[in-house]
Amino acid sequence: MKVLISTVPFADRDQTPLNILGEAGVEYVINPLGRKFTREELFQEISSYDALIAGTEVIDKEIINHSTNLKVIARVGIGLDNVDLIAARDKGIQVCYTPDAPSPAVGELTIAMMLTMLRQVHISNDQMHEGVWHRFFGKRLSECTVGIIGAGRIGKHVLKLLSGFDVNRILVNDIDAELITEEPPKIENADKEKIYREADIITVHVPLTMETTHMISDKEIRMMKRDAILINTARGGIVDETALFNALQNKRIGGAAVDVFEKEPYQGNLNKLTNCLLTAHMGSMSIDCRTQMEREATEDTVLFLLGKTPKRPVPNYEYENQTK
């Protein structure tokens, strides 16, 4: 049995995943390039492997059909937009993922982005390194209306963290309209348009599907306050990057913080703007959460290869999301 580990880094801080593979007698190869595979590189590499422990690289129908020995794909993470689930199912390939493990780390990065943007920390840091002493005015988080689009695992964690900041108004949009409202913080169910128009901070926590692709584009941005802050730690493609660049360049909104991009590694125009905080898809990259993700994906890979039932198979609704 041979496993390709395409996601990097892998087992850098904790060797447990590799120990699990070794104890099961599974041969493995860690991505030799030390970076994300391109589609073409993965196509060339994958054919002889029985299992793939995957990151965010594209795993489309052609790659799946080319993978003659592939039996299981285990995603290190929660997003599945890069995996053609229908093609995998049609070929009898089991797909697993690690939906719970990333939530605390992504939630905390989201809060860190809110605080950084509200107080211009990133700009002050750059100026200090250039010898410029300038003190910025800013807002406290407790004075803001925060809009959360998507209250799944990560969105709920953001809600939990916000309770420690005494935020007295939070607008939430989710397919589950029966969210429990408690004080503090005060949570209001709201449609997206209300969030766009009234929130000082808008943070997105939905999966990337055909329905959510470019969910926030020029029309939605034009509804926002002139000093609004838009945060995306969910998936690249949910926010239209061209529309966001134009809005930030023309000061139509106050700023943005982006951790995920339509094409990664990112090399677009947003890196030219000081009112846009950029991070390298590192939402889940706390040591504890990343290690848990790697361990869970490895455990399910080994379970399936040994003829046992994996603990975290992708549920049916995720397949349905790709057919809508």
Q: What is the DSSP string of 10-37?
A: -SSS--HHHHHHHHTT-EEEE-TTSSPP
257's enclosing H/E stretch is strand 255-258
Both 153 and 17 in one domain: the answer is no
Both 88 and 190 in one domain: the answer is no
Contact 292, 102 (CB under 8 A): no
CA neighbor of 278 nearest in space, from 44, 116, 163: 116
Both 215 and 274 in one domain: the answer is yes
Total residues found in the chain within this entry: 324
Choosing from 75, 122, 235, 290, the catalytic residue is 235
Choosing from 41, 108, 262, 264, the catalytic residue is 264
Both 197 and 221 in one domain: the answer is yes
Number of domains in the chain: 2
Predicted structure pTM score = 0.94
One pLDDT digit (tens) per residue for the chain, 324 residues? 999 999 999 999 999 999 999 999 999 999 999 999 999 999 999 999 999 999 999 999 999 999 999 999 999 999 999 999 999 999 999 999 999 999 999 999 999 999 999 999 999 999 999 999 999 999 999 999 999 999 999 999 999 999 999 998 999 999 876 655 554 458 999 999 999 999 999 999 999 999 999 999 999 999 999 999 999 999 999 999 999 999 999 999 999 999 999 999 999 999 999 999 999 999 999 999 999 999 999 999 999 999 999 999 999 999 999 987
Both 108 and 91 in one domain: the answer is no
Range of the domain at 25: 2-100+286-321
CA neighbor of 53 nearest in space, from 104, 99, 8, 102: 8
CA neighbor of 269 nearest in space, from 251, 236, 246: 246
Both 110 and 138 in one domain: the answer is yes
| Catalytic residue check, 264 | yes
For residue 163, what pLDDT is reported? Answer: 92
Both 13 and 86 in one domain: the answer is yes
Choosing from 205, 281, 295, 312, the catalytic residue is 281
Both 240 and 125 in one domain: the answer is yes
CATH number of domain containing 50 = 3.40.50.720
Contact 115, 136 (CB under 8 A): no
Both 86 and 197 in one domain: the answer is no
Both 261 and 127 in one domain: the answer is yes
Ramachandran area for residue 229 (φ above 0: left; ψ -120 to 50: alpha; else beta): beta
Both 183 and 238 in one domain: the answer is yes
Both 134 and 208 in one domain: the answer is yes
| Catalytic residue check, 23 | no
